[in-house]
Amino acid sequence: MWIEAPIIIAGPCAIENQFMLEETVHFLNAKHLHLVRAGLFKPRTDYRSYQGLGTEGIPILSYLKQKYPVSFISEILDIRDLDRMAEAVDIFQVGSRNMSNYALLKELGKSGVPVLLKRGMCATIHEFACAAEYLTGYGNQHVILCERGIRSFDTATRNVLDLSCVPLLKKMTSLPVIVDLSHSLGRKDIAAAMGRAALACGAEGLMVEVHPSPATALSDEKQQMNFQEFDEFLNFINMGE
């Protein structure tokens, strides 16, 4: 595998300012967690919602990379941003809404940059595996697959976390598979239990949203864990100190 397991990706839904990101990186760094979510561009359903700092956030990432041993993961929406983002982004996330954006996948495939590909919210496992082949088929083996829940009728969770996706993808591809507990569940009270389940069925890692002050977060405030909740989460999945 091109990346070492367990792949624990934590950090805020979106970067809001330098201070909150530095606080989070500092906290995670002390736990030897170096893969940090740092959303620059946020694909929001409502255009009035917080859209992220965009390229203006890149100097914040560059500054923190000089200060801490950290790798940033951030979603790319437009291939024209690739070079600019590559100054500070280590893994390019393709979000659920863009899993079937084959033009984007082809370009990321050719570029060879590390990509975290999320499952489309209405995509079958077969469609997900085929989307991954756009990356690998165009020459990029640096790919992580991420189950993030699929749409269904039940509103108890934000999406329905389909753990069968994990062992099935592992039969279909040799790529690492992780589970995004935050966007699949949309709640944090059952994240630790489902995190254990995801690892038990073979996931190579987990993604969790962590924010210094979830109640005041500009996006996904209900599902982001504060530092203490994340500590408890790590202990429950036996990755605490």
Residues of this chain that bind ligand PEP (CB under 6 A): 13, 39, 43, 75, 95-97, 118, 148, 180, 183
Residue 147 lies near Mn ion (rule: CB under 5 A): no
Nearest approach, Cβ of 183 to ligand PEP (angstroms)? 4
Contacts 24+ apart (CB under 8 A), 25-29: 25/64, 25/68, 25/70, 26/68, 27/210, 27/212, 27/227, 28/70, 28/210, 29/68, 29/69, 29/70
Nearer to ligand PEP, 13 or 225 (CB): 13
Which of ligand PEP, Mn ion, none sits in contact with 15, Cβ below 5 to 8 A by type?
none
Closest to Mn ion by CB, 129 vs 179, is 179
Distance CA 222, CA 22 (A): 21
Which among 230, 231, 211 has a CA at the least distance from the CA of 222? 211
> Least CB distance from residue 180 to ligand PEP, whole Å?
6
Nearest-approach distance from CB 37 to Mn ion, in angstroms: 8
Question: d(Cα 12, Cα 4) in Å, to the nearest integer?
Answer: 22
Q: Which is nearer to Mn ion, 13 or 113 (CB)?
A: 13
Binding at 96: pick from Mn ion, ligand PEP, none (beta carbon under 5-8 Å per type): ligand PEP
Nearer to Mn ion, 168 or 206 (CB): 206
At residue 189, what are phi and psi to the nearest 5 degrees?
-70, -20
> Cα–Cα distance between 71 and 184 in angstroms, integer?
23
CB closer to ligand PEP out of 148 and 211: 148
Shortest distance, position 186 Cβ to ligand PEP, whole Å: 10
Which candidate, 61, 33, 77, places its Cα nearest to that of 205? 33
Q: Please select the residue that binds Mn ion; options are 7, 8, 9, 13, rule is CB under 5 A.
A: 13
Contact 149, 120 (CB under 8 A): no
Q: Smaller CB distance to ligand PEP: residue 76 or 175?
A: 76
Between the alpha carbon of residue 153 and those of residues 111, 148, 223, the distances in Å are 38, 16, 20
> What's the closest the beta carbon of residue 199 comes to ligand PEP, in angstroms?
19
Residue list 152-171, contact with Mn ion (CB under 5 A): none
Residue of the chain from 128, 163, 220, 237 that contacts Mn ion (CB under 5 A): 220
Beta strands in 69-222 (DSSP E): 71-75, 91-94, 115-118, 143-147, 177-180, 205-209
Binding footprint of Mn ion on the chain (CB under 5 A): 13, 220
